[in-house]
Amino acid sequence: MSASPIHDIFVIGGGINGCGIARDAVGRGFSVFLAEMNDLASGTSSGSTKLIHGGLRYLEFYEFRLVREALMEREVLWKNAPHIIWPMRFVLPYANGLRPAWLIRLGLFLYDHIGGRKLLPATRTLDMANDPAGKPLKPLFRKAFEYSDGWVNDARLVALNARDAADRGATIRTRTKVVGARPEGEFWTVRLQNTQTGDTEEVKARLLVNAAGPWVD
């Protein structure tokens, strides 16, 4: 077992949160060590909905700030990684007896405008009798609403964050399990085990970030 230099931040977990935190931190000048017990994006981050979206449904609960921030980040991600993000069109058929059409239209108007949309087409109302989207539906659906969000290759997004973090100086270790962590004064001592060889080592860091997803406990 060997010691290593003191890092500013130690990140547990190689999913999108862990790799995103590592990339952001090293870009701000912090020294970062990230450990993932399996491969990058091997858990939740490769089993997501694969959507880059603003959370349209949250408008109904007046979560305007949340939706605005998510939509703004959608634009940033799309601008930075257009090779792994594609537009996805959604059609919401409208039927009487559900939410009023004007309320849906209002929500979509907000979705268009509160996040600074530039890259995706605007939402619109469809005449289902004439639009191809209405062909497979029953005649009772005369109207629909269309909006767009982004579809992303989620595992590749994780890998790109990790690659960029490593290029900026972060240490990214896969097949490396955190088997213990203890505070010692101003530092954390993190004990690691290579899951392939069984070898162990200890790493010291000033801050410990647990981004282990389902294994956070």
What is the tens place of the pLDDT at every residue in 73-90? 999 999 999 999 999 999
Mean pLDDT of 89-107: 93
Average pLDDT, the chain: 95
pLDDT tens for 122-142 read 999 999 999 999 999 998 899
Which of 157, 22, 177, 7 is closest to 82 using CA atoms?
157
pLDDT at 3: 52
How does DSSP assign 98-114, residue by residue?
Answer: SS-HHHHHHHHHHHHHT
More confident residue, 73 or 96: 73
Q: Give the CATH fold of the 51-152 domain.
A: D-Amino Acid Oxidase; Chain A, domain 2 (3.30.9)
Confidence of residue 98 (pLDDT cuts 50, 70, 90): confident
pLDDT at 215: 85
Both tokens assigned to 157: 């997004």
pLDDT at 160: 97
pLDDT at 1: 46
Which of 28, 186, 195, 193 is closest to 208 using CA atoms?
186
Q: Where along the chain do its domains lie?
A: 6-46+155-215, 51-152
From the options 3.50.50.60, 3.30.70.3270, 3.30.390.50, 3.40.50.720, give the CATH code of 6-46+155-215: 3.50.50.60
Confidence of residue 216 (pLDDT cuts 50, 70, 90): confident
pTM (predicted TM-score): 0.87
Same fold, 6-46+155-215 and 51-152: no
Q: Chain centroid to CA 182: how far?
A: 29
Mean pLDDT of 159-169: 98
